[in-house]
Amino acid sequence: MKILQRYILIEILKVFLLLLSVLTVLLLFVGVFTEAQKNGLGTGQILLILPYIIPSLLPYIIPSSLLLSVCVVYGRISGDLEIVAAKSAGINPLALLTPAFTLGAVLAVCSFFLTDRMIPWSMSRMQSILSESMEEIFLDQLRATHLMTDRSAGYTISVVDVRDKTLISPTFQYSLAGGTPLTLQAQEARISFDLENQVIRLNLKKCHVYTSDQTTAYLEEEQREFPMPKQIAKFKERGMTIETMHNLMDEFEVNETQNRIRGEVQVAFALTTGNYDLLHPNMFHKVGKPGPVDQRQLDKMSTEIYGRFALSSSCLFFVFLGAPYAINRGTKQFLTTFFICFLPILLIYYPLIIMFQTLGKNGEIDPSWAMWIPNVIMFFGGIRLLRQILKH
């Protein structure tokens, strides 16, 4: 790499690493730390999950940090007339932009690795820690107040005492939406969090069951499940790698093919035997066993896959727009340059991303091209700015 390009790259890296560190720390300790405390997590539990939160923040912090870095560096060298000096020496302005474009491409690859590998791994680790923490919080509250109520899930637990993880003389009231309310009284019970199935299991011993119509029953041992609290619910698509999602999508296609074949055989059998009562419009969708995912989950996974590619590439497109704009402004007031450049990104880019993600997950639009529209808009904006640099 030539001296001038190496100089620009080093300057960008200095600013970028500083901004990345500062923004990451701010988001962790101002946003995440406060929110975790509101959800009842202790300081020790928060410190355990902090290292696993960082990978999920970086794909959003990296593009904005890189954009501000190129605004700082190229705004300064343009304001010091270094761009003019380089052009007068016969150096093509594109050569001066090469370090920024190269760094943007490298960070795009790193961001994709984070979203596809690191984030699913860190989310699985964080979910394990949270589930263990929720058990401790759950039991600590029962020890202190002897009562736990979750209206959204429709259950209430009251106990006489809690010894280790054993509930002494618990009374469990549970009512599903539209279902019959149940009251269970047991001599003792143990509680466990099943993260994989997103349920809390309550194993009761010597249990009396009461219903709303005064029906009673005695069970030597009984197990009940109720939904896990929302704050530790897993975001399934984001917690999967692209390879895992492709495997599930392939299983879906195989299952759909098998259902179609079964439907065709059933139609042929009905026509051959003259049993026309077997024919109905939805028969192709009702034969066969259900697959591992349904169509809605398939749309969500497809949108997640293309969204990872598009959002990871935003590092390069942010640079493609920000660096030429900073050179054109030719001022050292980098914050002004950054805000003017970031404003259309904030008002156009991210709203479009959110809109196309929603439409893609609902199956109303094909995410394979829709998720790239915001990047294409930024690309043409960067092309226009580059033409101005090369022309003047």
Q: What is the pLDDT of residue 371?
A: 93
Comparing CA positions, the residue from 186, 178, 190 lying closest to residue 154 is 178
The 10 Å Cβ neighbour count of residue 215 is: 9
pLDDT tens-digit profile of 230-249? 544 444 667 788 888 888 88
Q: Which of 41-50, 139-148, 165-174 has the lowest mean pLDDT?
A: 41-50
Q: How far is it, in rounded angstroms, from Cα 134 to Cα 68?
A: 39
Check: CB of residue 382 under 8 Å from CB of residue 326: no
| Mean pLDDT, residues 331-352 taken together | 84
Rounded to the nearest integer, the mean pLDDT of the chain is: 80
Instruction: For Cα atoms 312, 313, 316, give the angle at the middle one, nearest 5 degrees.
Output: 125
Torsion of CA 75, 81, 85, 88, to 10 degrees: 100
Q: How far is it, in rounded angstroms, from Cα 304 to Cα 246?
A: 11
| Mean pLDDT, residues 367-376 taken together | 93
Q: Model-level pTM?
A: 0.73
Q: Which of 14-23, 281-290, 305-314 has the lowest mean pLDDT?
A: 281-290
46 has a pLDDT exceeding 70: yes
| Mean pLDDT, residues 212-223 taken together | 75
Q: Which of 57-66, 313-322, 325-334 has the lowest mean pLDDT?
A: 325-334
276 has a pLDDT exceeding 70: no
| Mean pLDDT, residues 370-389 taken together | 91
Read off the pLDDT band of 65 (50, 70, 90): very high
Residues 6+ apart with CB under 8 A from 249: 293, 298, 301, 302
**Percentage of the chain with pLDDT > 70?**
81
Q: What is the pLDDT of residue 284?
A: 47
Read off the pLDDT band of 289 (50, 70, 90): very low
Q: What is the pLDDT of residue 231?
A: 46
197 has a pLDDT exceeding 60: yes
pLDDT tens-digit profile of 76-103? 888 888 888 888 888 888 889 999 999 9
Q: What is the pLDDT of residue 66?
A: 93
| Mean pLDDT, residues 376-385 taken together | 92
